[in-house]
């Protein structure tokens, strides 16, 4: 328009610009962290819905699933494949590492932003594109990829075998782009923690969660390279007819398995470490205790990260590898129980002599320890090569890894969200709704997966669309266990509405709080709630470690890192 803009119009245009620059194209680490968090939450609802649909098919075979319809075998395969992919790559990783890593690292080490803010934004944008591509892959002709999240070739390499000419390459492209996004993010995290710490923030004063995110980022960066190479080869096999994984042309299907699991197993620890770090922060605050054996926990984290590179072939005990190799991988796999167990012992020891308040974040943190212990001990059955022969690819595996991944991806996330919510939005979440949501999640969770240990031990394989063809494996009581697991899943899903209501209501209407509502020590609580772009009014100086709770002869039972005396 040629007419001069009125003041009102200018303000409106400016406001519009600021919404875009503030919430969509922001370079502020906190906004990017929240973008990852919200994207992850949306994808969790989708991934959870997929679980609901395929569990309904298992419990009530060939019946119409409410809100979905009939589930065909093709759809079932696509649902289980994409449920796994989405929950790990588009929920656990973006929320735990990218979401909380972004939100917490600059605040906790005392700087104004990531060292490379634009790289940070690019990382989210690439991640967002990857999420769009995986969604598109579900609705293209032929449907979504159904070759399991492990995508073993030759099935995944050829549409002749997987019958998803568009779904398989798009799925792979989405995963590859997601890796690129996290590589950029991981570089940023590591460089920021190395270079941008506040004065006085020595290595041994860094909060353990920051350490663990950095170690996880390094593990990710070191493990993902071979898989990206493998993924490029697989994409070429799918699209231009190379035959890296085709034995009839001199390729080898097992090559992919090695490349995939060389990444895939460390990946467990990539998400586990930030989750345990979050739990460590929360238990110290709500037990008013110094973290027991900080240096030992740091050592165990590093040891876990290193050993995680030497365990991958325990996924291949029955894959036709040389049987002698299995002994080596049994030993390394069981070895990793040593640092992890020690870390959990240190967390439990932290509670000793504490003054424990069972606020919602603490409930989640304690539940993490209790539930993860189940995941840990059941892993021994699978790490031991001989029992794995039987249990491999049964529901026992499904139950085991949900007892590790659910505490990691869901329980630790709820712990973190409820704990840092006041910092994110300057308001507190409702405690009653929080506790209702907690029990409405934890009880059904156990009712879903304890039955699956039994169906797995009874021989039921996973990824089977219908058991009607297996008379021995579909006895009435096994079917009843499937029904129990499915009903519990529906109950758990319903209770997530309580969380969503609490979250969005509290964002706008929750009780307003000051900068440090939990009386915590770490630096993020010295910034205003919510912190402005740039975080701190004045850059903090750090005088001591992050866990000085209950220090004798002090009036207060906490002693923030930035307070001089």
Q: Which is nearer to other proteins, 148 or 221 (CB)?
A: 148
Q: Which is nearer to other proteins, 124 or 364 (CB)?
A: 364
Q: Which is nearer to other proteins, 349 or 497 (CB)?
A: 349
Place of tokens 């209407």: 509
Q: Which is nearer to other proteins, 270 or 464 (CB)?
A: 464
Contacts of 244 (CB under 8 A, 6+ apart): 157, 233, 234, 236, 237, 251, 255
Q: Which of 48, 106, 144, 253 binds other proteins (CB under 8 A)?
A: 253
Q: Which of 94, 117, 147, 266 binds other proteins (CB under 8 A)?
A: 147
Place of tokens 């939990």: 518
Q: Which is nearer to other proteins, 245 or 536 (CB)?
A: 245
**Are 130 and 177 a contacting pair, CB within 8 Å?**
yes
**DSSP reduced 3-state for 274:** helix
Min dist CB 380 to other proteins, Å, is: 5
**Are 220 and 186 a contacting pair, CB within 8 Å?**
yes
**In whole angstroms, what is the distance from residue 144 CA to residue 78 CA?**
5
Q: Which is nearer to other proteins, 119 or 341 (CB)?
A: 341
Residues 66-95: x where in contact with other proteins by CB under 8 A, - otherwise, as a string = -------xx-xx---x--------------
Smallest CA-to-CA distance from 183 within 96, 108, 98 is with 98
Find the binding residues for other proteins in span 316-355 (CB under 8 A). Answer: 318-320, 323-324, 326-327, 330-331, 334-335, 337-338, 341-342, 344-346, 348-355
Find the binding residues for other proteins in span 414-443 (CB under 8 A). Answer: none
Size of the site for other proteins (CB under 8 A): 96
Q: CA separation (Å) from 31 to 180, 384, 534?
A: 20, 44, 12
**DSSP reduced 3-state for 512:** strand
Find the binding residues for other proteins in span 280-309 (CB under 8 A). Answer: 287-296
Smallest CA-to-CA distance from 283 within 357, 336, 229 is with 357
Q: Which of 65, 191, 254, 450 binds other proteins (CB under 8 A)?
A: 254
Min dist CB 374 to other proteins, Å, is: 7
**In whole angstroms, what is the distance from residue 429 CA to residue 415 CA?**
12
Find the binding residues for other proteins in span 454-483 (CB under 8 A). Answer: 454, 457-459, 461, 463-466, 469-473
Q: Which of 360, 394, 430, 529 binds other proteins (CB under 8 A)?
A: 394
**In whole angstroms, what is the distance from residue 335 CA to residue 338 CA?**
6
Smallest CA-to-CA distance from 124 within 193, 47, 29 is with 29
Place of tokens 């307003």: 512
Min dist CB 322 to other proteins, Å, is: 10
Q: Which stretch binds other proteins (CB under 8 A): 94-102, 215-223, 356-364, 504-512?
A: 356-364
Q: Which stretch binds other proteins (CB under 8 A): 90-98, 116-124, 170-178, 546-554?
A: 546-554
**In whole angstroms, what is the distance from residue 359 CA to residue 347 CA?**
17
140 binds other proteins (CB under 8 A): no
Place of tokens 């009386």: 519
**In whole angstroms, what is the distance from residue 399 CA to residue 381 CA?**
12
Q: Which is nearer to other proteins, 346 or 424 (CB)?
A: 346
Q: Which is nearer to other proteins, 385 or 496 (CB)?
A: 385
Smallest CA-to-CA distance from 438 within 357, 518, 358, 519 is with 358
What is the phi/psi pair of residue 461, to 5°? -80, 155
Min dist CB 423 to other proteins, Å, is: 22
270 binds other proteins (CB under 8 A): no
557 binds other proteins (CB under 8 A): yes
Smallest CA-to-CA distance from 89 within 48, 50, 43 is with 43
Residues 152-181: x where in contact with other proteins by CB under 8 A, - otherwise, as a string = xxxx-----xxx------------------
**In whole angstroms, what is the distance from residue 198 CA to residue 205 CA?**
11
125 binds other proteins (CB under 8 A): no
Q: Which stretch binds other proteins (CB under 8 A): 211-219, 407-415, 450-458, 533-541?
A: 450-458
Q: Which of 71, 374, 412, 492 binds other proteins (CB under 8 A)?
A: 374
Tell whether omega for the bond before 154 is within 30 degrees of 0, i.e. cis.
Answer: yes
**In whole angstroms, what is the distance from residue 443 CA to residue 446 CA?**
6
Token pair belonging to 536: 């701190």
Min dist CB 251 to other proteins, Å, is: 8
Q: Which is nearer to other proteins, 58 or 115 (CB)?
A: 58
Q: Which is nearer to other proteins, 76 or 182 (CB)?
A: 76
Helices 294-307 and 253-287 sit at what angle, rounded to 10 degrees?
170
141 binds other proteins (CB under 8 A): no
**In whole angstroms, what is the distance from residue 453 CA to residue 319 CA?**
22
Residues 6-45: x where in contact with other proteins by CB under 8 A, - otherwise, as a string = ----------------------------------------
């Amino acid at each position: 328009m040629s007419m001069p803009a009125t003041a009102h119009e200018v303000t409106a245009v400016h406001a519009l610009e600021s919404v875009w620059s503030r919430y969509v194209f922001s370079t502020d680490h906190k906004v990017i962290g929240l973008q990852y968090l919200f994207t992850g939450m949306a994808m969790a609802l989708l991934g959870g819905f997929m679980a609901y649909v395929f569990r309904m098919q298992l419990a009530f075979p060939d019946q119409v699933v409410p809100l979905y319809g009939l589930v065909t075998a093709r759809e079932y395969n696509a649902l289980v494949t994409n449920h796994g992919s989405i929950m790990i790559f588009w929920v656990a990783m973006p929320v735990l590492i990218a979401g909380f890593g972004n939100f917490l690292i600059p605040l906790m080490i005392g700087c104004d932003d990531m060292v490379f803010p634009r790289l940070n934004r690019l990382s989210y944008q690439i991640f967002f594109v990857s999420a769009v591509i995986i969604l598109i892959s579900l609705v293209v002709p032929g449907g979504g990829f159904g070759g399991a999240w492990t995508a073993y070739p030759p099935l995944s390499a050829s549409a002749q075998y997987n019958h998803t000419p568009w779904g398989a390459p798009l799925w792979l492209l989405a995963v590859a782009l997601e890796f690129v996004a996290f590589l950029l993010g991981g570089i940023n995290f590591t460089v920021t923690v190395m270079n941008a710490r506040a004065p006085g923030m020595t290595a041994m004063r860094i909060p353990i969660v920051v350490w663990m995110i950095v170690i996880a980022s390094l593990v990710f960066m070191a493990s993902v390279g071979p898989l990206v190479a493998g993924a490029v080869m697989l994409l070429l096999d799918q699209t231009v007819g190379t035959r890296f994984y085709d034995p009839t042309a001199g390729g080898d299907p097992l090559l992919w398995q090695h490349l995939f699991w060389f990444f895939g197993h460390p990946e467990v620890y990539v998400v586990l470490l930030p989750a345990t770090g979050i739990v460590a922060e929360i238990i110290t605050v709500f037990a008013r205790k110094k973290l027991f054996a900080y240096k030992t926990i740091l050592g165990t984290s590093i040891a876990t990260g290193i050993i995680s590179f030497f365990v991958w072939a325990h996924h291949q005990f029955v894959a036709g590898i040389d049987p002698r190799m299995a002994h080596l991988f049994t030993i390394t796999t069981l070895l990793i129980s040593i640092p992890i167990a020690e870390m959990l012992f240190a967390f439990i020891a932290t509670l000793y002599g504490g003054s424990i308040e069972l606020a919602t974040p603490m409930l989640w943190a304690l539940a993490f320890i209790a539930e993860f212990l189940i995941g840990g001990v059941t892993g021994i059955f699978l790490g031991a090569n001989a029992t794995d022969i039987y249990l491999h690819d049964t529901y026992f595996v499904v139950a085991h890894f949900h007892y590790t991944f659910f505490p990691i991806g869901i329980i630790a996330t709820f712990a973190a969200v409820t704990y840092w919510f006041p910092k994110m939005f300057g308001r507190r979440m409702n405690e009653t709704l929080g506790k209702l949501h907690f029990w409405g999640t934890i009880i059904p969770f156990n009712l879903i997966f304890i039955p699956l240990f039994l169906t797995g031990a009874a021989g039921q394989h996973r990824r089977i669309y219908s058991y009607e063809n297996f008379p021995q494996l579909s006895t009435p009581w096994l079917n009843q266990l499937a029904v129990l697991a499915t009903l519990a899943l529906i109950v758990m899903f319903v209770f997530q509405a309580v969380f969503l209501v609490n979250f969005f209501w509290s964002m706008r209407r929750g009780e307003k709080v000051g900068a440090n509502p939990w009386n915590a020590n770490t630096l993020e609580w010295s910034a205003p709630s919510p912190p402005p772009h740039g975080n701190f009014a004045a850059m903090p100086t750090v005088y001591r470690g992050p866990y000085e709770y209950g220090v004798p002869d002090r009036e207060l039972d906490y002693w923030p890192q930035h307070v001089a005396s």
